[in-house]
Amino acid sequence: MTTTSPSSPPGSRLSHAYGERLVARHASTGGHQGGSHPTAAARASATLTLAYQDRFLNGPAFLGETERRTVVEDLHTVYGLLRSLPERLFGGSITELAAAVGLDPLQSALITRSARTGTLHPLGRADLYHDGTGFKLLEFNLTSALGGFENADINRAMLEYPPLEEFVRQHGLRYEDTLGHMVRTMRAECAANIPADRAPVVAVVDTVENFAVVGPRLGVLAAKLADHGVEGIACDLSEFTYPDGRPTVSGRAVDVVFRYFLPEDLTDPASAAQLEPLLTAVEQGKAGLFSRLDAELYGNKGTLAMLSDEQHRDLFDAAELACLDRLLPWTRYVRPHATDPGGSRVDLVAHALAHRHELILKPTLLHGGHGITAGWETDPAEWESRVASAMNGPYVLQRRVRPAAEPFPDGAGGVRDLFLNWGLYLGARTAAADGYAGGFVRASADPAVGVVSMGSGALVGCVFHGGE
């Protein structure tokens, strides 16, 4: 019988049980796969290979139901706290929050303007490590440009492997369709622009520069929207025309713009100029924007530092503090002085130099692991230079989280330990669901990896939950 300790990762019981089943199957068949491989269907999928090439895990990650409920509830709490920061810290000013997280005046003006239109509902991807005692939130991406719209495709492809299909069925495991949650959120946020008598026309849009790189994948997203009753078009900002003020692409009037560009893209004057008539159309009610630009404010790394900072603890009640203490690693803006993890006021540079092996430096305004420096991967002189250069800028220092090992099939009849970055998606609560919108994992075999990401060579896998 497989047992786990109280400090085990969230799916260890299921992970060990599945690994043991594959080891036993390998032994009983003499190592023959019987013409089947766990990743065969994923590798045969044009959609999945476009997104992830051939970098698939040989098995899924498992998320036990009790821990799933706990982390989802914590993420809802953190989401609510992030949304409340303008009122709690800045007298209700979104503009002041934008300046505090490092946005320039152009970005701030565009975001503040967008915040006056439509609504925002919970939608995000939490990037988490599990340290063996619980999940720790590294970043909380709150935006429509989340990726992950192929999550359920990975689950379905992995279920083509008979041993996994049997295991999932026997244990009553499930998965969520992340794209379905995204579309429901889009419909709720842009309800005034969704026609009642036909499928809405939705343009999946990025900047000209970005679309040259990600256009094929956004084309996949646009095509997949058809499964959810939406007519999708993939295009860049320059392709819009505005007859009668309504965004139009190749003669097709657009009901909703599914935004894939980010605030960091709007520092380019050309992109900002192409956005101008779109924002005007949204303000005039001629199209919906999903999601509003100010969503990015709340998903900024700097806002997590605001929640983590000792000086703000009196703004939160006991339950909120318990959630923050449970979920957030120590995170501080790079400023001359701050409080250390024990609450003592310290010289931050001296603290960073003394604890280099326990800290990671992150820019607040970039995504995808860009600009991150892991202290334990950096020599002392370079680390000191990086921290000094970041002083008073849009950077945070975050305490290192060491992910606990999870057992995974190695594809050759054995099991190996891997270290996971969990990407868990949050949507709005409904009467029938708690807002969990699915997930995927990125995995590394290196326990000292600075960032478990596709850019660092990680493998990708799906998540099944339940089993209790």
Dihedral of alpha carbons 351, 352, 355, 358, sign: positive
Q: What angle do CA 191, 289, 197 make, to 5 degrees?
A: 35
Amino acid type, 312: H
Q: Which helix (H) or strand (E) holds 308?
A: helix 301-308
CB 434 within 8 A of CB 385: no
Judge whether residue 1 has pLDDT over 50.
Answer: no
pLDDT at 452: 76
Residue 248 forms beta bridges with which residues? Answer: 241, 253
| Lowest-pLDDT choice from 28-42, 173-187, 311-325 | 28-42
The per-residue pLDDT for range 108-149, each reduced to its tens digit, is 999 999 999 989 999 999 999 999 999 999 999 999 999 999
> Residue range 304-316: average pLDDT?
93
Alpha-carbon distances, residue 425 vs 18, 36, 401 (angstroms): 24, 31, 20
Structure token pair of residue 299: 């998903």
Judge whether residue 4 has pLDDT over 60.
Answer: no
Instruction: Specify the higher pLDDT residue, 105 or 32.
Output: 105
Alpha-carbon distances, residue 119 vs 57, 190, 259 (angstroms): 38, 8, 15
The per-residue pLDDT for range 157-205, each reduced to its tens digit, is 999 999 999 999 999 999 999 999 999 999 999 999 999 999 999 999 9
Q: What angle do CA 393, 397, 403 make, to 5 degrees?
A: 150
Confidence class for position 31, pLDDT limits 50, 70, 90: low
The per-residue pLDDT for range 397-442, each reduced to its tens digit, is 999 999 999 989 887 878 899 999 999 999 999 988 999 999 999 9
pLDDT at 32: 53
Residues 293 and 125: their CA atoms lie apart, in Å, by 16
Residue 267 forms beta bridges with which residues? Answer: none
Judge whether residue 2 has pLDDT over 60.
Answer: no
Residue 345 forms beta bridges with which residues? Answer: 339
Residue 102 forms beta bridges with which residues? Answer: none
CB 280 within 8 A of CB 271: no
Q: What percent of the chain has pLDDT over 70?
A: 95
Judge whether residue 84 has pLDDT over 60.
Answer: yes
pLDDT at 30: 61
Backbone angles phi, psi at 212, to 5 degrees: -60, -25
For residue 202, which of 237, 232, 222 has the smallest C-alpha distance? Answer: 232
pLDDT at 35: 54
Q: DSSP assignment, residue 149?
A: T
> Residue range 285-293: average pLDDT?
96
CB 246 within 8 A of CB 287: yes
Instruction: Specify the higher pLDDT residue, 123 or 266.
Output: 123
Structure token pair of residue 75: 């993420």
How many CA atoms lie less than 13 Å away from 280 in the CB half-sphere? 14
Structure token pair of residue 4: 């786990």
Q: What percent of the chain has pLDDT over 90?
A: 79
Residue 369, judged by CB atoms within 10 A of its CB (0-12, 13-18, 19+), counts as middle
Domain boundaries, the chain: 12-298+403-466, 330-399
Residues 132 and 412: their CA atoms lie apart, in Å, by 27
Residues ≥6 apart with Cβ < 8 Å to 431: none
Residues 308 and 136: their CA atoms lie apart, in Å, by 12
Instruction: Specify the higher pLDDT residue, 449 or 215.
Output: 215
Q: Which residue has the tokens 């050309």?
A: 270
Judge whether residue 468 has pLDDT over 90.
Answer: no
pLDDT at 5: 44
The 3-state DSSP class for residue 330 equals coil
CB 264 within 8 A of CB 365: yes
pLDDT at 368: 56
pLDDT at 412: 80
- Give the rounded distance of the alpha carbon of 55 from its chain centre: 19
pLDDT at 365: 80
CB 203 within 8 A of CB 247: yes
